[in-house]
Chain A
Amino acid sequence: MLAYLLRRVLYALPIMLGVALVCFALVHLAPGDPLVSILPPDASTQLQEQLRALYGFDRSYPEQFAGWVWRALQGDLGTSIATNRPVSAEVFKAVGNTLRLAALATLIGFVLGGLFGFVAGYFQNSWLDKLASFTSVLGVSVPHYWLGMVLVIIFSSQLMWLPASGAGPGGSDGWRWDLEHLKHMLLPALTMSVIPMGIIARTVRALVADILAQEFVVGLKAKGLTDLGILKHVVKNAAPTALAVMGLQLGYLLGGSILIETVFAWPGTGFLLNSAIFQRDLPLLQGTILVLAMFFVVLNLLVDVIQTVLDPRIARS
């Protein structure tokens, strides 16, 4: 198993390098001068050259890439062109906000999706199954940014129960686990949870149906094991895969939160990405994408490792 895990970690390294290369190339795909957003239109050639050298845009691409990766490894992602603050500080503050939101959403999605999927798989082809399956189709089909708007219309504009946007009275700073802050978090987290709910429900339904059809379950039934006892076996067999899907969903939500964060003005990475794009703040854009993508790669790796530890059959295959 150790050899398998080691191979898995080694395999992730070139992927990480590739991801970094894509993030780097992305910014140089952008048409126009990367400094266009801060240069006054009448800037002298001398000033242009100075700024170019300051941001390192005067060196060759391989040099720039190597330097960027080297500094990124030390936690330095450069300076934001728009705000003149270090990119890493901005990104990590935003990652905290997004992670909190995504974690709550994944939790809600996992509990509801797991429940729906389990019921659907256990009572296959009953009306309960059809209802749960249809709900999961709705979950994967809904444009979540629209769902966010509808929830705001219902709970903020009509009923006036919950705030429509923002992270709380203190803005993006000063998060506390109190009622006021949780109220701000509820709508975006609910909106976000719909996607993992649909996917986890589908996965769990297939898993449960699959396990129930296996010979050992029939054997256990024949030996007279109670329904509750069989249920325990089903849960134990379905858990590793379901947990793995949940882990990956957390990664997808972290990277895919931009639309929901825009709807709710949630001060996370999506919001940061949005402003980086529209202000053409290339170092910020590059840094945010890199951190999110790396998060996803590491999360994938962690999920694989945990799954292997929970279920040693994987390493053997």
Chain B
Amino acid sequence: MTMNVPVMPAATPDTASPGYWLTVWRRLKKDRVAMGACGVILLLLAMALLGSGLAPQDPYASSMMTRLKPIGHPGHLLGTDELGRDMLSRLMVGARLSLFMGITPVVCAFVIGALIGITAGYAGGALNTAIMRVIDVFYAFPSVLLAIALSGALGAGITNSLISLTVVFIPPIARVAESVTTQIRGRDFVEAARASGANAFTIVRVHVLGNVLGPVFVYATSLIAVSMILASGLSFLGLGVKPPEPEWGLMLNTLRTAIYTQPWIAALPGVMIFCTSIAFNLLSDGLRSAMEVKQ
């Protein structure tokens, strides 16, 4: 559960005709592992969007008569949970909240962290030092500890979990953005733009953003897997989503009492978290190698 900030060279835009992003896409298309991961993610997203329509049964309907039925029980393909609710339906509908809780903090942290990092990197000097020292303080906490401490202090709930995870992911993203911006700032084309009279805003918009956002984006995608595990972990501890909402981490928590009676049912929600996290990690690895290749 660590976030080692990798040293990433600034992406060098391909000047040869097809355009940078198209080249990246062509490279990515050839990477079978990354495309497989992409397929899994699209499937999960489809489940998140359409899950409540596709689910065979009502994920909230409990029944005392059919509690903890095994996998393959008639009418319940994946069995039932401790309140007799259909597991398959809950796992499908659970995709929505689980993915939302995992992806949102990274998106928010990407926007805020990139903003902070680019500001610090472009401004340089005392402002850079001041900003980066504050970032260093938050970076001095192990990520799991900071996430749990923050949501523990703020109290359980969806919003508070999202806030604490966002705070956890801002420092590493800001660090990557700052180091790439500092690199770009020293390049000749920035110097040339400044000499020809472009103001700071134009330089950042035209020259810096285009070169910085790529590497920062790749780094942010690698955090989604971490975020999925942490967000479900918060719910698993009882600090995130509250019952009876279907969410994989929370389901894992409430099913813990069943590990002696229906162990494989109890393990099911974790399989979903695991698969999601593997898919995001593999896609992020593929993106990294597709974007870092230099001419």
- Could you say which residues of chain A place their CB within 8 Å of the CB of B140? 15, 18-19, 293, 296-297, 300
Contact call A252/B1, Cβ cutoff below 8 A? yes
Contact call B277/A143, Cβ cutoff below 8 A? yes
Which of A65-73, A113-121, A254-262, A304-312 lies at the interface? Answer: A254-262
Which 8 A-B pairs have CB atoms at the shortest separation, nearest pair first?
Answer: A146-B270, A255-B142, A18-B137, A256-B144, A255-B145, A277-B152, A153-B263, A141-B277
Which of A24-32, A49-57, A80-88, A223-231 lies at the interface? Answer: A24-32
Q: Which residues of A contact B (CB under 8 A)?
A: 14-15, 18-19, 21-23, 26-27, 29-31, 137-138, 140-147, 149-150, 152-153, 157-158, 195, 199, 203, 245, 248-249, 251-252, 254-256, 258-259, 262-263, 273-274, 276-278, 285, 289, 292-293, 296-297, 300
**CB of B196 within 8 Å of the partner chain:** no
Contact for A143 among B155, B260, B266, B273, CB less than 8 A: B273
**Which A-chain residue is minimally distant from B277 (CB atoms)?**
A141
- Could you say which residues of chain A place their CB within 8 Å of the CB of B149? 23, 26, 273, 285, 289
- Could you say which residues of chain A place their CB within 8 Å of the CB of B263? 153, 157-158
Contact for B237 among A140, A153, A274, CB less than 8 A: A274
Contact for A149 among B145, B225, B232, B267, CB less than 8 A: B267
Q: How close is B266's CB to chain A, nearest CB, in angstroms?
A: 7
In Å, the complex CA distance between A116 and B143 comes to 26
Q: Which residues of B contact A (CB under 8 A)?
A: 1-2, 4, 133-134, 136-138, 140-145, 148-150, 152-155, 225, 229, 232-233, 236-239, 249, 252, 256, 259-260, 263-264, 266-267, 269-270, 273-274, 277-278, 281-282, 285
- Could you say which residues of chain B place their CB within 8 Å of the CB of A296? 140-142, 145
Q: Given A27-B153, A149-B259, A262–B237 Cβ distance below 8 Å?
A: yes
In Å, the complex CA distance between A150 and B152 comes to 26
The secondary structure that dominates the B interface is: helix
Contact call A149/B266, Cβ cutoff below 8 A? yes
Contact call A259/B144, Cβ cutoff below 8 A? yes
Q: Can you add 7 more A-B contacts, CB < 8 Å, to A141-B274, A143-B249?
A: A27-B153, A31-B155, A137-B285, A149-B252, A199-B4, A273-B148, A289-B145
Contact call B2/A258, Cβ cutoff below 8 A? no
- Could you say which residues of chain A place their CB within 8 Å of the CB of B270? 143, 145-147, 149-150
Contact call A143/B144, Cβ cutoff below 8 A? no
Q: Given A30-B155, A137-B278, A152–B142 Cβ distance below 8 Å?
A: no
In Å, the complex CA distance between A26 and B148 comes to 11
Q: How close is A107's CB to chain B, nearest CB, in angstroms?
A: 17
Contact call A146/B155, Cβ cutoff below 8 A? no
